[in-house]
Amino acid sequence: MERILTEKQLREISKYWIAVLGLTDWNIAININHKGDMELTCVAGEVSYSFVEREVQIRILHPDDYVGGPAFLQDMEKTLVHELLHLKFDHVCHPKGDLNKHHHQLLNDMAVALLRVRDDNEASKRITAEVPNG
Ligand SMILES: [Zn+2]
């Protein structure tokens, strides 16, 4: 699913996910960056953080720089949730910060699952609201 959002929308949506994931004790900055302003290459998003300071920088790739093709549409909300999940899992799974592709894949799967639950909940709320009385 393709979800293209503005920086303002991402920051608004992040409040929901930060609350759901129990990350309200972190100071989280979220920006949309062009690829030249990303630390990593060929990523849809990245996160850097200090566990001690509880400071987080999340950078989501600007849609103009996204290269995915029809099978890999850009979902900026999924990327946001993926980066937030790093805050929960990195220190548990890889204390030295040496992450492998399976770690990122796990976080991707979890992000997809969380978004699906949220979207299903919203869909069922809409259905309930549309049922006429009587
Ligand atoms: Zn990752």
CATH code where residue 72 lies: 3.30.2010
The Cα–Cα gap between 79 and 111 comes to: 8
**How far, in Å, from the CA of 18 to the mean position of ligand 1?**
17
The Cα–Cα gap between 57 and 75 comes to: 19
**How far, in Å, from the CA of 123 to the mean position of ligand 1?**
28
**How far, in Å, from the CA of 122 to the mean position of ligand 1?**
27
Give 59-100 pLDDT, tens digit per residue.
Answer: 999 999 999 888 899 999 999 999 999 999 887 766 555 667
Per-residue pLDDT, 126: 86
Give 57-70 pLDDT, tens digit per residue.
Answer: 999 999 999 998 88
Domain enclosing residue 85, as ranges = 7-126
Asked whether residue 27 is assigned to any structural domain, the reply reads yes
Instruction: Name the 3-class secondary structure at 43.
Output: coil
Q: Average the pLDDT over 106-122 and give the result.
A: 94
- 111, 83 contact by CB (below 8 A): no
